[in-house]
Structures are given as structure tokens and as C-alpha cells.
Amino acid sequence: MRYVIVLLLGLIMGAGAAVFFLGAARAKSAPGTQVQAPETGSDPAGTVVVTLSSSFVDGLLDTIFRDLGAPAFRLAGTRMQPENATIQRASFQQPCTNTITLAQEGNNIKTQVQFAGGRISAPLAFNGSYDLMGNCMQFKGWAQTSIQLRFDSGTQTVYGQVNVDGVNLEGVNPVANNFVTVFVRNAIDQRVNPLVLIGAPQLQLMIPVRASNGSLKAQVKDVRAEILDGSLRMHISYAFSGTRGQTG
């Protein structure tokens, strides 16, 4: 019974200390407004529908891990240790990288994007290390995240707002678990967001009409999305305008 009480006190104090030293997670908000579902009925004139399947996104992720390497993000520094501080260690010790690295698979969890139940979710396997008060903490696990789509008309960009719903760690001391959970959550919240999904070069159109000595321009005025089981269907509505004397 005494052990249980000490353990509970350690967990509570660890959680409080983690928030004090590392700070509460503050996700960077993506620009623009949240993408809504299509309105009932047919799409307005000038709308194109683009469908992304889960297999297509899986292929993108497989290529990133195979050809570019696992994405890595530097962890934010604690209040006790500035982020740009140099970590001095004995020659026989491995230096802490102070990074979190996404893994293609770990703990029977595969890093992927899932379209199901009207939402976009993304389990992310990871591993990394962090220097906390002179101790190098090695960790691994996975985070359950959800992605909210946002469209900014000013920059003509579709963003993804990644929200961390939970962090699951493997083989981490219960007291240290709170510290690791906070800085893993901070790293994903602050280093990944805002996530650029589709930029202006991919969305905007310019079609030269040489016979009329001009060009037809198309600018996105609205983006809607419906999340089906296994696919994401985006409804992109354009506003068209013609400019004479410009064919480039």
C-alpha cells in the first residue's frame, strides 16, 4: 500500500514538474479557416473533385522513409537548459541528440494516414533521446494524432493542423513518463504545424488562349472535403477571370 501511494505521488509530482520545466503544449494554429463538408446537392460551377486514397498516401510515406530517410524534429529546450546549450559528456557516453525521429513502424504500430469515420487520423511511431538535468533519456513509442484541414484563400494553400490526441510510451519509468510525454507532444505540436498539404503552385491555374491574345486564370475560392472510408475527396471551387495581352 505504501508503494502504491509513493508511486501515485511520484506520478502527480512528475506531471506537475513536467509542465513547469517544459511548459504546456501550445500547438501552432494553421492559417485560414477549417475546411467544411460539401453542401447538400451538386457542386457549384467551376468545381473539380480530387480523390486521395489511403494507398496513395501510404506510397508517399514509404517513399519518404526509403529515399529521404526518417523525418526528425529537434525537441524544445527545457526551462532548466536552453535549447542552444552544448551538452558536454564523457567520451564513453553517447551524446543525447535531443530529437524525436519518426519511425516507419514500431511497437506493432505503423506510421500512416487513415481515412475513416469521417475523420483523418495518423498514428506516428517514434524514438528519440532527451537530456534532462544531465541524464540522457532514451524513449520510443507512438502518438495518436488527428489532422484538421484548413484553407487560406490569401496564400491559396491547404494546410493540415496536426492535433496530438495521446502519447503511448514503451519501457519508460512511470515518473519520467510525464516528462517524455510533454516534450514529445510539444515537438509534434510545435515542429510539425502548420503542415502544408497543397500549395498555390498546385492549386492555381493559368491557361494561355493565344487566339484571343490573353490567358484564363483560375483562383480557388472555396475548398470542401468529405472523408470516406479509405479515401479523402476534396471539392475545389474556382473563380475564373480572363486577362488580355498576357499569354505567359
| 109 — pLDDT class (breaks 50, 70, 90) | very high
Q: Which amino acid does the sequence have at 30?
A: A
Please tell me the pTM assigned to this model: 0.76
Residue 246: per-residue pLDDT: 65
Q: What percent of the chain has pLDDT over 90?
A: 48
Q: What are phi and psi of 78, to 5 degrees?
A: -80, 170
Query: Is residue 116 predicted with pLDDT exceeding 90?
Result: yes
> How far is residue 173 from each of residues 13, 137, 180, 181, measured CA to CA in Å?
14, 10, 10, 12
CATH number for the domain spanning 24: value is 3.15.10
> How far is residue 152 from each of residues 33, 105, 142, 229, measured CA to CA in Å?
6, 33, 30, 26
CB atoms within 10 A of CB 23: 14
**Residue 180 placed within a domain:** yes
Residue 77: per-residue pLDDT: 53
pLDDT digits (tens, 9 = 90+) for 140-174: 999 999 999 999 999 999 999 999 999 999 877 77
Residue 17: per-residue pLDDT: 39
**Residue 217 placed within a domain:** no
pLDDT digits (tens, 9 = 90+) for 42-89: 899 999 999 999 999 999 999 999 999 999 988 755 444 444 433 333
Q: What is the DSSP letter of 36?
A: B
Residue 248: per-residue pLDDT: 58
**Residue 99 placed within a domain:** yes
Nearest one of 110, 96, 107, 123 to 65, comparing CA atoms: 110
Query: Is residue 19 predicted with pLDDT exceeding 80?
Result: no
**Residue 160 placed within a domain:** yes
**Residue 215 placed within a domain:** no
Domain range enclosing 174: 2-41+52-76+95-200
Residue 20: per-residue pLDDT: 36
Pairwise CA distance, residues 145 & 163, whole Å: 5
- Per-residue burial over 103-115, b if 16 or more Cβ lie within 10 Å, else e, is beebeebebbbbb
Query: Is residue 7 predicted with pLDDT exceeding 80?
Result: no
**Residue 243 placed within a domain:** no
| 207 — pLDDT class (breaks 50, 70, 90) | confident
Three cell numbers, residue 74: 529537434
**Residue 231 placed within a domain:** no
Pairwise CA distance, residues 167 & 154, whole Å: 34
**Residue 115 placed within a domain:** yes
User: Residue 69: helix, strand or coil by DSSP?
Assistant: coil
Q: What is the DSSP letter of 45?
A: T
pLDDT digits (tens, 9 = 90+) for 211-243: 888 899 999 999 999 999 999 999 999 999 988
Greater model confidence, 9 or 246: 246
| Angle at alpha carbon of residue 110, lines to 107 and 113, rounded to 5° | 145
| 137 — pLDDT class (breaks 50, 70, 90) | confident
Peptide bond between residue 194 and the one before it cis (omega within 30 degrees of 0): yes
Domain count, the chain: 1
Pairwise CA distance, residues 85 & 25, whole Å: 21
Query: Is residue 94 predicted with pLDDT exceeding 70?
Result: no
Pairwise CA distance, residues 120 & 190, whole Å: 19
